[in-house]
Chains A and B, each alone.
Chain A
Amino acid sequence: MTPKRILKYSYYPGCSLHASASEYDQSTRELFKVLNIGLTEVPDWICCGATPAHNVDELLSLSLCAKNLELAEKVDGDLAVACAACFSRLKFTQHTLEENDVKRKQVEKAINAPVKLDNRVKHLLEILARDLGLERLAAAVKKPLKGLKVACYYGCLLTRPPDVPNLDCVEAPTIMEDVLHAVGAETVAWSHRMECCGANFTLSRPGVVIQLSNAILESAKAAGADCFMVACPLCHGNLDIRQKEIEGVYNTSYGMPVFYITQLVGMACGLSSEKLGLGAMIVNPMPLLKEKHLI
């Protein structure tokens, strides 16, 4: 066995994890506790600006993220990020400020502080698969997710932008599958694993989301998946919260629960459904989990 290293991180949950994705936040904290990984929330973190900020104002987007990186320096350890969109923005900012002196100076002026970039921005997947390692993760499994066929949905932002050092291959990542195999689940090969779900059009143009998310649900169902695993609160909202609406529009039935990574891994590590916040999911996962004898 590999010698035990003490892992600890500062934690940037992001706005959604304090509201519509509170089960992602809850299951992350519970899972990290079980795995003995330290997690300290960044004090007074602010919104990363997400898509709307960089859409119309790059300097604002970089400054908001840089401010968060500065706040994160107050806590020991690399910065663990749960939301794929926050992750993409924070990582992009870190990379841009390292490479581009002009932008760095502008940002330093805007936040009125020197930019510190020592702590790396890491997604939870990276922490589970690399820092902790698949072997140690597999060793922590108490109840392998045998027989569960999962469609790993990466969405668009987890491995992008392409020119920033990524957590995995930009076109054919396998990090989600690797993590799931380590905890005993099966994964399916399917076409729409990196297609966009419509993301924040859920507010302004829900029709777009219904069309794009339907294609994703259809593709996963056709590939024989029982459920989804996602790493992004927006993907989750579009596939889970809007699933019933999509079924109505296309006169079909999917009934596919959408889990966060930490919920599935947590389940394998023996955490109860209350601790994982399974009750907050709109598409009820209990019938599927009972059928597979996982609860």
Chain B
Amino acid sequence: MPVKKKKMLLSAETMDIDFVRKVEALSGTSVRRCFQCGKCSAGCPMATFMEHPPNRVVRLLQLGQWQRILAGRSIWYCASCETCSTRCPNKVHLASIMDALRKLSWDAEGPSKESYVQLANKLFLQNIRTYGRQYEMRLAAVFNVKSGQFLKDLMLGPKLITKGKLKMFHKKNKNMTEIEQIFSRIEEMRRNGEAP
């Protein structure tokens, strides 16, 4: 995917370092340790799908240009395989940085180009809150309806059902109240500023 060449102006106005500090605090890792060897991008299975490969995500953070990252799809195309963190010679935990960026983008409901991955994440978490566990049939069906791809993977369905791989019915966990309390306590802690 060609990236439009935009002139990057570095000045006190364009470099938002406060945001970067937030990312560092959330991820527990420092972007300043990175010397741009590029090992993360070389090993990243998803780099070809991203407009900013992993090492450039860190470079943009070093320069305080976080808006460019959040506006693109790179963070949502990270598979969380942790190859980058495993191979970084400077112990930059890039997988955690990606988590932190996604959280900040998610909380701000930021303007990302990628909506399918966000939708899948949202449905996945909703399923936990409603049922306690994942029910793949439900997850896939609701995803198809909400994303407007009614026919996606339809051909796989009958085969999976005859093989007993998709359960048509499911029941809720017995401890749903406790699960709901975890979600609501976390929301309350956030409202009170006790948790990030």
Contacts and interface: CB of A to CB of B under 8 A. Distances in A.
17 contacts: A46-B175, A47-B133, A51-B80, A58-B196, A63-B186, A106-B189, A106-B194, A109-B194, A109-B195, A160-B85, A196-B81, A204-B117, A204-B119, A206-B152, A208-B46, A241-B165, A245-B156
B81 A279 contact: no
Contact of A60 (B86, B125, B174): B125
A60 B132 contact: no
A50 B80 CA distance: 10
A111 interface: yes
A272 interface: no
Given A112-B185, A212-B45, A44 B127 contact: no
SS class of chain B's interface: helix, strand, loop or mixed?
helix
Interface in A90-129: 106, 109-112
A58 B53 CA distance: 23
Q: Size band of the B side of the interface? A: 35 or more
A55 B102 contact: yes
Nearest to B183: A60
Contact of A157 (B81, B99, B120, B178): B81
A284 B24 CA distance: 48
Contacts of B102: 55-56
A47 B195 CA distance: 22
Interface stretch (B1-9, B56-64, B134-142): B134-142
Interface in B152-192: 152-153, 156, 159-160, 163-167, 173-175, 178-179, 181-183, 185-186, 189
Contacts of A201: 79, 117
Contacts, number: 172
Interface in A155-179: 156-157, 160-163, 170-171
A54 interface: yes
B19 interface: no
B167 A19 contact: yes
Contact of A56 (B106, B136, B173): B106
B174 to A, nearest CB: 5
Given A19-B135, A19-B165, A59-B186, 10 more contacts: A19-B166, A19-B167, A22-B165, A56-B103, A63-B186, A67-B179, A110-B186, A160-B82, A162-B82, A194-B83
A199 interface: yes
Interface of B: 26, 45-46, 49, 77, 79-83, 85-87, 93, 95, 99, 102-103, 106, 116-117, 119-121, 124-125, 127-128, 132-137, 139-140, 143, 152-153, 156, 159-160, 163-167, 173-175, 178-179, 181-183, 185-186, 189, 194-196
Q: Size band of the A side of the interface? A: 35 or more
B143 A203 contact: yes
A196 B140 contact: no
A16 B189 CA distance: 31
A245 B153 CA distance: 10
B82 A47 contact: no
Given A47-B132, A56-B103, A204-B143, A20 B165 contact: yes
Contact of B120 (A15, A109, A163, A204): A204
